[in-house]
Amino acid sequence: MQVNAAAAAMPPSGIREIMNAAWGRSDVLHLEVGEPDFPTPAAVVAAAHEAAMAGRTGYTPTAGIPALRSALAAKVRARNGFSVEPEQIVLGNGGAQALQASLTALTEPGDGILLPDPAWPNFAMMSALLGLESAHYPLTMAGGFVPELSDLEGLVTPKTRVLLLNSPSNPLGSVIDRDRMTRLLEFAARHELWVLSDECYDEITFDGTAVSPAALDTDGRVVTVFSFSKTYAMTGWRLGYATAPPEVAQVLAKAQEPLISCINTPTQYAGLAALESPPEVVANMVRAYRQRRDTVVGLLDEWGLPVFRPAGAFYAWVDVSAARLDARELALQLLAEEQVAVAPGTAFGRGGQGFVRLSLAASEETLAEGSVRLARLVERLAARPR
């Protein structure tokens, strides 16, 4: 009997390997996990509880309850700088499922997609499940970890249908500025590509340079995916959404019917409450991430370990190539010898060789100690004879 070849061939997650090895160990400094260390705001939890107690437990419209779609249209206008009607918003089961549904709506098997490398590994997995041919455009330290037009021009073929952008980036923390974004949209227009913009970290930015490609879109080619997971510390609630040009949103909503039918109903009310949170709820978390970033970057700078200063998201991408060890092996050795768990760069693609990702979703003390232990191990390995 046969199973789906792409699903069967999916490589195991390189982050999971470390997570599993470090699982339940209180002696380990956990810097591998990519989810906020804050609780979901109490008012959000209460809203879900109240909705369930009031009997709001049945199916909803596939694309989401009208009140939430209207509130999201207002959010997108105010915080992301572009205008959409509520009908152009379709909820997903987290940003992950909204991305998968968007790709389902935009592509046919055999189409090409341009993906970043390094990148969140799920992009390549979803592309494989949909039978897409992925080509990977490099993001490098020298280039500030943003896409280079010349690389994209070299990879695009007549079959390419989608350019996927992720700004702020997981795992890099890089942000694409307005000027480059404009040129990326021109590139997409030249080659008749959809732009699928993953902005799941849209509200976790530190310097104000992030821009939504949809805010610069002049011809309806941008689909944007957002999430409640990171902004409101709601990873387990599974709430995300896509905004799309009207014709695409209709197709997307239709595609969601067989995929999920609708989103968990109390979760939708939780989302509504999250959007009504006082601004300091998100601002306080962002302030904490920024402070932790400054601590980690400052410490690693002192140790002479090159680290990219993230402009968004909550990760520090550290160059450990001086250790002359495969990134996965280094992560395993760091866990064994220094009791620190980090994500090996190779979990995010070939371009991650020589790097590790530290998650800033940990206390400042844990991050400071973890950074020192990492730097210490790299120094030790760098000093060994060749």
Which residues in this chain contact ligand PLP in the complex, by CB under 6 A? 34, 94-96, 120, 166, 170, 198, 200, 227, 229, 235, 240
240 phi/psi in degrees, rounded to 5: -145, 180
Q: How far apart are CA 111 and CA 220, in angstroms?
A: 20
Closer residue to ligand PLP (CB): 34 or 147: 34
Contact between 146 and 154 (Cβ < 8 Å):
no
Which residue has its beta carbon closest to ligand PLP? 94
Contact between 24 and 348 (Cβ < 8 Å):
no
CB of 235 to ligand PLP, least distance (A): 5
CB of 111 to ligand PLP, least distance (A): 21
Written as six digits, the tokens of 166 are 């992720």
Closer residue to ligand PLP (CB): 80 or 227: 227
The string of DSSP letters for 204-268 reads -BSSS----GGGT-SSS-EEEEEESTTTTT-GGG--EEEE--HHHHHHHHHHHHHHTSS--HHHH
What residues have CB less than 8 Å from 324, skipping those under 6 apart? 381, 382, 386
Closer residue to ligand PLP (CB): 204 or 378: 204
CB of 19 to ligand PLP, least distance (A): 13
Closer residue to ligand PLP (CB): 123 or 378: 123
Closer residue to ligand PLP (CB): 202 or 369: 202
CB of 205 to ligand PLP, least distance (A): 14
Written as six digits, the tokens of 120 are 């969140």
CB of 379 to ligand PLP, least distance (A): 30
